[in-house]
């Protein structure tokens, strides 16, 4: 048996330990796979990140909308819903339609705080029709009121224009033109001229007593009668 020389054994050992070379094509393929995986991860991250932002924005907008509605509802809830109208004939308690006529109610409440109605006279009294208070002559001619009254039995009557409803004539003027009107009988629908923003809860007899005062040919009371003060209330 031939003996292998030490130098030959050393060379043979080195050949066994030398790693095989990786081809360039293999390296390129691996790099491409890594790039695809990274791109996929980035795309997935962007997708879920955008979706998360959209969800947060929708929840924020929804919360703002709910907060706005809650604030509006809270505002209406906090506003006084009733008023005691103290007249020279007695006390009249009215309920205010805060939701049905918010603008008229807001204006009425603001004027009450400014004592706008203090000392306001009833300057128009039409029996079996209405009583009206104001600091100036009525913005609606008396003839128009009485003409409507003559047609009362033949025209459709709106439920909100029944007897003992609180309203004000529609005007384009300033706060000085804001008058108070209480119907004493069902009247024809006057949506084009009248804003109804409340109704009488107590004191119908007082309204009727005002209605019975003597008036001249212009339906103006012969003796002074008016509003002494108005007290706003949140409950009765």
pLDDT of 27-60, one tens digit each?
888 888 888 888 888 888 888 877 777 777 776 6
The predicted pLDDT at position 188 comes to 66
pLDDT exceeds cutoff 80 at 17: no
In a domain, 108, yes or no: yes
In a domain, 222, yes or no: yes
Q: What is the CATH number of the domain that holds 106?
A: 2.40.100.10
What tokens appear for 177 in the block?
């033109």
Cα separation of 190 and 210, whole Å? Answer: 22
The predicted pLDDT at position 114 comes to 92
pLDDT of 90-124, one tens digit each?
999 999 999 988 999 999 999 999 999 999 999 99
Q: What is the mean pLDDT of residues 15-35?
A: 72
pLDDT exceeds cutoff 50 at 150: no
Cα separation of 189 and 74, whole Å? Answer: 32
Domain residue limits at 211 = 82-233
The predicted pLDDT at position 88 comes to 96
In a domain, 44, yes or no: no
Average pLDDT of the chain, as a whole number: 78
In a domain, 52, yes or no: no
**Confidence band, pLDDT 50/70/90 cuts, at residue 146:** low
Nearest to 107 by CA among 169, 165, 61, 33: 169
In a domain, 17, yes or no: no
CA distances 2 to 10, 14, 70, Å, are 17, 21, 103
In a domain, 23, yes or no: no
In a domain, 73, yes or no: no
Beta strands 194-202 and 90-96 are antiparallel
pTM for this one? 0.63
Beta strands 227-233 and 194-202 are unpaired
Domains held by the chain: number: 1
Q: What is the mean pLDDT of residues 175-182?
A: 82
Q: What is the mean pLDDT of residues 155-172?
A: 72
CA distances 212 to 22, 37, 59, 91, 208, Å, are 115, 94, 61, 16, 6
pLDDT of 55-95, one tens digit each?
777 766 656 655 555 444 455 557 899 999 999 999 999 99
pLDDT exceeds cutoff 80 at 232: yes
In a domain, 41, yes or no: no
The predicted pLDDT at position 62 comes to 59
User: What stretches of 3-154 show up as alpha helix (H) in DSSP?
Assistant: 6-17, 24-78, 102-113, 142-150
**Confidence band, pLDDT 50/70/90 cuts, at residue 153:** very low
């Amino acid at each position: 048996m031939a003996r292998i020389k030490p130098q030959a054994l050393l060379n043979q050992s080195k050949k066994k330990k030398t790693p095989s070379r990786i081809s360039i094509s293999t390296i390129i393929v691996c790099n491409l796979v890594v790039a695809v995986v990274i791109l996929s991860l980035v795309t997935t991250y962007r997708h879920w990140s955008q979706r998360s932002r959209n969800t947060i924005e929708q929840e924020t907008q929804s919360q703002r909308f709910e907060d706005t509605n809650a604030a509006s509802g809270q505002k209406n809830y906090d506003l006084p819903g009733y008023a005691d109208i103290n007249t020279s004939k007695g006390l009249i308690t009215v309920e205010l339609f805060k939701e049905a006529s918010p603008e008229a109610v807001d204006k009425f409440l603001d004027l009450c705080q400014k004592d706008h109605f203090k000392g306001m006279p009833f300057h128009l009294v039409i029996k079996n029709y209405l009583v009206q208070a104001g600091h100036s002559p009525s913005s609606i001619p008396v003839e128009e009121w009485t003409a409507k009254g003559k047609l009362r039995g033949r025209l459709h009557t709106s439920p909100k224009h029944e007897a003992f409803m609180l309203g004000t004539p529609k005007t384009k003027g300033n706060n000085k033109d804001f008058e108070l009107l209480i119907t004493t009988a069902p009247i024809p629908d006057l949506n084009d001229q009248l804003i109804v923003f409340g109704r009488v809860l107590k004191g119908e007899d007082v309204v009727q007593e005002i209605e019975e005062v003597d008036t001249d040919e212009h339906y103006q009371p012969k003796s002074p009668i008016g509003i002494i003060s108005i007290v706003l209330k949140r409950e009765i």
